[in-house]
Homo-oligomer: A and B are copies of this chain.
Amino acid sequence: MNAPVNDPKAGFTPRSETAAVTLRNRILDGEYAPGTPLQEVPLSQEMGVSRTPIREALSILSKEGLLEPGPKRSFKVKTFTLDEIRHAYELRGCLEGFACRHLAEVGLSDEVDARLEACLRHGDELLAKGLEASRQDEWLEMNNELHATLVEACENPFLSSFVHQTHHVPLASARHVHWYAMDERNFDLARKAHEHHHGIVQAIRDRQSARAGFLMEEHVAYSFGLVSEYAEGFQPK
- Copies of this chain present: 2
Q: Please name the residue on chain B nearest to A99 by beta carbon.
A: B94
Cα–Cα distance between A115 and B119 once the two chains are bound (Å): 48
Q: What is A's interface to B at a CB cutoff of 8 Å?
A: 5-7, 56, 59-60, 63, 65, 69-71, 84, 87-88, 90-91, 94-95, 98, 102, 156-159, 161-162, 165-166
Q: How far is the CB of A94 from chain B (nearest CB, A)?
A: 5
Whether the Cβ atoms of A71 and B158 lie closer than 8 Å is no
Q: Which DSSP category, helix, strand, loop or mixed, fits chain A's interface?
A: helix
19 A–B contacts, CB within 8 A, in A order: A6-B70, A6-B71, A7-B69, A56-B59, A59-B59, A59-B60, A60-B63, A63-B63, A87-B156, A87-B157, A87-B159, A90-B98, A90-B156, A91-B98, A91-B158, A91-B159, A94-B94, A94-B95, A162-B162
Cα–Cα distance between A214 and B178 once the two chains are bound (Å): 39
Q: Please name the residue on chain B nearest to A88 by beta carbon.
A: B158
Cα–Cα distance between A70 and B7 once the two chains are bound (Å): 8
Besides A6-B71, A65-B161, 13 new A-B residue pairs in contact (Cβ under 8 A), listed by A number = A5-B71, A6-B69, A6-B70, A59-B59, A65-B157, A87-B156, A87-B157, A88-B158, A91-B156, A91-B158, A91-B162, A161-B165, A162-B162
